Amino acid sequence: MSFQDRQVVVTGGTGALGTAVLEALLKAGAKCHVPHRSAKDADRSPYGKDARVTFTLIESLTDESAVSRYYASVKDLWASIHIAGGFESAPIEASDKALLMRQLDVNLVTAYLCSRAAAAALRQSGRGGRIVNVAARQALEPRLGANSTAYTIAKAGVAALTTALAAELVKEDILVNAVAPSTLDTAANRAAMPKADFSAWAKVEDVAAAILFLASPENVAVRGAVVPAYARVK
């Protein structure tokens, strides 16, 4: 797959999955744009000083005006990949409105606003393009969302956003899809769940490869899909 000289936005590009996606995109020739919340985020990225990656400070991807301005500044956008998100787990009695709203904001609202702004930028180019969201296994299998109901609701919203927007934009050759990973094998998740079977977790490189295909020019048929990325999880 070639992304030679194609402009790609990657939200959440300083996290574990985001870093794997950047690596794959850069190997494929892309020029990447990463919005981030603080200077520390860019500093910790292995691509923080890579001339092919442009880091831009945006305090919150829930700021509609800031998101719109950011996407308008990216010229000749080809694809927008939305990895930014967060996870909070709590039983329902501890999941108050504040927790629910945090999960909706960080997972669904960010994906919605970035998808909306990306659609406007891609329409302006008139060349088509790709949008890829990141849902979660719980979005497809909500019974697995016990004790993380708010997160499950938010990621189910991301899946619905993906399917609806795909139907809206397909006539303009803007293909919208999502991946739905199971637990990712990251350092943070290993620290949080030290007794888990890490071998059953989804590898970030494998999920990144799925994202890369969905965002690529080679993908000419897949749209409205929420692709399971479960690795060896049963």
Contacts of 183 (CB under 8 A, 6+ apart): 137, 189, 193, 196, 201, 202, 233
Task: Please give the Cα distance from 146 to 163 (Å, whole number).
Answer: 24
Whether 151 is catalytic:
yes
Q: Amino acid letter at 113?
A: L
Tell which residue, 9, 117, 132, has the closest CA to residue 65.
Answer: 117
Torsion of CA 89, 109, 12, 21, to 10 degrees: 100
Please state, in angstroms and as integers, the Cα–Cα distance from residue 167 to each residue in 78, 80, 109, following that order. Answer: 19, 17, 19
Which of 70, 112, 151, 230 is catalytic? The answer is 151
Under 8 Å CB-to-CB from 179, ≥6 apart: which residues? 132, 133, 134, 135, 207, 210, 211, 214, 226, 227, 229
Q: Which residues are catalytic?
A: 151
